[in-house]
Structure 1
């Protein structure tokens, strides 16, 4: 590690990189969607799989369906929150299905950028096996850009990242009783 916590690792040059957006602050999915928008602006195709999310009311889903034909978003979760201590069989089934969908999409290699939104949380909750995610990262097409978002990124995932950003919580309206706001928080 260098000053400021930045590590420098010598890795072979490749076109696609692995991005990990983690931490307890707001903005990990937002950063991934911003990267998607940038990629689409340059003619690239983007696929986002949202683990543990099932509501169609997210702004990125509405925008992609209305305005961004190069941006495919698939959800693999229920509309309700997952109980970390006791996930339902349906939560587990959907997460495993999501991982299989991610595997198919990655190895079909039809997209330039693949975002696995909230995959770190799915890992932390024990919904999917870490070894399979590691294998997916290591065996993806070398030109593919891959993003993994969510709190609690395991050290094994962080070590595989070329770009690793930790979003820190300093303040958030939620802790002051403000509900999530349409168009800003979802």
Structure 2
């Protein structure tokens, strides 16, 4: 267990899911707090490619290590490719190594829930990640869906539900605000 203010802290599993905006932003908030407390943090991006993205710039500025596994454009079910499955399997293997290493206090698995939803990885794959997690390591899993078995094993499950969104009025994602 890592210590904050001299007190041992257990590592928890948090799942941020839903059709609303803010899941990755919430994970970024967890990262900022962890780094500010002197914790060691890494992020594994599933299904997101290297492109101009404020998340990556922020992580670099914070000195957070991260790895990106995805094509440079957003994925929808309509354009899923064999390459996406291959990249998700690579991300999964990489994530398992990072989690089981014991090097990190916080590991964020961004869009891992979507990788499972699209069938690129299985529920059992995610459950294995939870099982290799050292007691002191916290995990954050994001994506639009939450598998019931994974949610049952998590310590915190938060749903982000869209009530209203600018996209519904034709306003596209804004650089620096939405990505």
TM over 0.5: yes
Alignment of 1:53 onto 2:55: no
1:131 counterpart residue number: 124
Structure 1 unaligned regions, length at least 5: 1-13
Whole-Å separation in 2 of the counterparts to 1:111 and 1:41: 15
Structure 2 unaligned regions, length at least 5: 1-8
1:108 counterpart residue number: 101
Whole-Å separation in 2 of the counterparts to 1:24 and 1:179: 16
**Between structures 1 and 2, the one with greater strand share:** 2
Q: How much has 1:83 moved relative to structure 2?
A: 4.0
- Number of aligned residue pairs: 172
- TM-score of the pair, normalised by structure 2: 0.91
- SS of alignment partner, residue 21 of structure 2: coil
- SS of alignment partner, residue 56 of structure 1: coil
Could you list the runs of 4 or more consecutive aligned residues of structure 1 that deviate by over 6 angstroms after TM superposition?
A: none
Structure-to-structure mapping, 1:1-186, within 5 angstroms:
15-65=10-60, 67-69=61-63, 71-84=64-77, 87-186=80-179
- Superposition CA RMSD, Å: 1.5
- TM-score of the pair, normalised by structure 1: 0.88
- SS of alignment partner, residue 31 of structure 2: helix
Q: How much has 1:80 moved relative to structure 2?
A: 2.1
In structure 2, the CA distance between the partners of 1:83 and 1:182, relative to structure 1 (3 Å rule), is: closer
Maintained 8 Å contact 1:119/1:150: yes
Maintained 8 Å contact 1:48/1:74: yes
